Amino acid sequence: MIGWALRWVLRCCSITLLCVAIFKFGPALLFDYAAQPEAAIRTAESSPTSNTLIYAANEHGHVILEAAVNGAPVRLLVDTGASLVTLTPADARAAGIARSELVFNHRVSTANGSARMAPMKLREVRIGQLSLYDVPAAVLENLNISLLGMSFLSRLQSYEMRDGKLTISW
């Protein structure tokens, strides 16, 4: 009989404490729970990592990044002064573009002087998780490194160079 009475007292005390806790902390718990999904949605929409890439400049202030051009790995120098994504003949070969497909029918002036250019379109240029398709490009003779030019950069939502870091958003 005493055991039964003690169990009832413990049950009543437990229920009472639970009711007091709900009464005292319930509104705060319910408010936080209701606000969490909204906060999570705001974070996902404005998250800098959801559709943003950041690259550090090298000691000369240049941003050189690893990309995939038509699935092939290519190092690209980000160049806002280049109108097109521009590949070296070796990088074009690596990207599956045969020399016989290239028609060098333009001459262009570059920082390194005059060069022959073969205009073309790249199936895909991918950096990180960002892929752009049907990117106007060119192959230039006498080019030391391939360039990520404005035919790619102008299709982004934004790009910004600040404090030695390039931030790309799409």
Condensed to tens digits (0 to 9), the pLDDT of residues 54-94 reads 999 999 999 999 999 999 999 999 999 999 999 999 999 99
Judge if 143 and 119 occupy the same domain: yes
pLDDT at 33: 37
User: Considering the entire predicted model, what is its pTM?
Assistant: 0.69
**Which of 18-32, 86-100, 105-119 is predicted with the least confidence, judged by mean pLDDT?**
18-32
Judge if 31 and 72 occupy the same domain: no
> Domain holding 151: CATH number?
2.40.70.10
> Residue 155: pLDDT band by 50, 70, 90 thresholds?
very high
Percent of the chain with pLDDT over 90: 66
Coil, strand or helix: which one is 121? strand
pLDDT at 17: 57
| Location of structure tokens 């250019």 | 117
Q: Which domain range does residue 21 map to?
A: 1-47
Average pLDDT, the chain: 82
Judge if 22 and 56 occupy the same domain: no
CA distances from 17 to 9, 11, 22, 28, 93 (A): 12, 10, 9, 17, 75
Q: How many domains does the chain have?
A: 2
Judge if 74 and 100 occupy the same domain: yes
| Location of structure tokens 């959801």 | 50
Q: H-type helices in the chain, by residue range?
A: 2-46, 89-94, 150-153
Judge if 61 and 143 occupy the same domain: yes
- CA-angle at 110, arms to 105 and 115, nearest 5°: 35
Judge if 36 and 76 occupy the same domain: no
pLDDT at 23: 55
